[in-house]
Amino acid sequence: MYSMKLYLVRHGETDENAGNIVQGHLDTGLSHHGYDQARSIAERLSVENFDFAYSSDLTRALFTADEILSHHPLVELMPVKELREQSKGIYEGKPKELMIRDMKRQNSHWWNFTPINGESLEDVWLRVIPFYERLRQSQNGSPVLVVSHGGPIACLLSYLHHDLLENACKYVPDNTAISIIDVDKKGNCSFEIMNSSEHLCVR
């Protein structure tokens, strides 16, 4: 018997995603394509059942979660700051190539680079993993929806695979990709699907 069935979804595309603009805590909305993606994942999950739903408190995640829950009107959405994307500090709203340039100049890796006035990915790990553990320990077989961003989801999937933070890049999902994970009472995970975007291929 599992203690939690976790539905883990990344938000829909934004204009900044499409334009390679750094977002982080920058509160952006969905692009027209992102709206379509949100409707697609919502339709895919319309046949599922959720007892609880959590989302990053940033607009792009909240809208995606709201679209999914339009098929589940009795489920209350709980926004939480722990699920926010990595703060990119001085680079937010600027071309991603500028941040990559400075990262290389500092001889840093993407997972330990800390932007001025921002966070490292390790900082994201240190807020996302405790949130997940509190959530897991509070459930008793409940299906739970979590909508977040590429960085936090990559950290969580790396953790659930018993992998290292420095390997988290291989777990970064596409926009509205979904992972469905059965978690037993000891925290062991069985992955039904991981970072699946099949719903985007049928439109």
pLDDT along the chain (203 residues), means of 10: 87 97 97 97 96 97 98 97 98 96 89 94 96 91 95 97 94 97 92 94 66
Mind spelling out the 3-state secondary structure of the chain?
A: CEEEEEEEEECCCCHHHHCCECCCCCCCCCCHHHHHHHHHHHHHHHHCCCCEEEEECCHHHHHHHHHHHCCCCCCCEEEEHHHCCCCCHHHCCCEHHHHHHHHHHCCCCCCCCCCCCCCCHHHHHHHHHHHHHHHHHHCCCEEEEEEECHHHHHHHHHHHCCCCHHHHHHHCCCCCCEEEEEEECCCCEEEEEEEECHHHHCC
- What per-residue confidence (pLDDT) applies to 136? 93
Degrees, nearest 5: CA angle 120-180-41: 90
85 is catalytic: yes
* Residue 149 annotated in active site: no
Res 141: pLDDT = 81
Catalytic residue among 85, 119, 149, 199: 85
For the chain, which domains are there?
A: 2-201 (3.40.50.1240)
How much is the pLDDT for 13?
98
Q: What pLDDT, on the 0 to 100 scale, is given for residue 201? A: 84
Q: What is the pLDDT of residue 110?
A: 82
Q: What is the pLDDT of residue 202?
A: 63
Catalytic residue among 11, 72, 149, 199: 11
Cα–Cα distance for residue pair 182/92, rounded to 1 Å: 35
Q: What is the pLDDT of residue 185?
A: 87
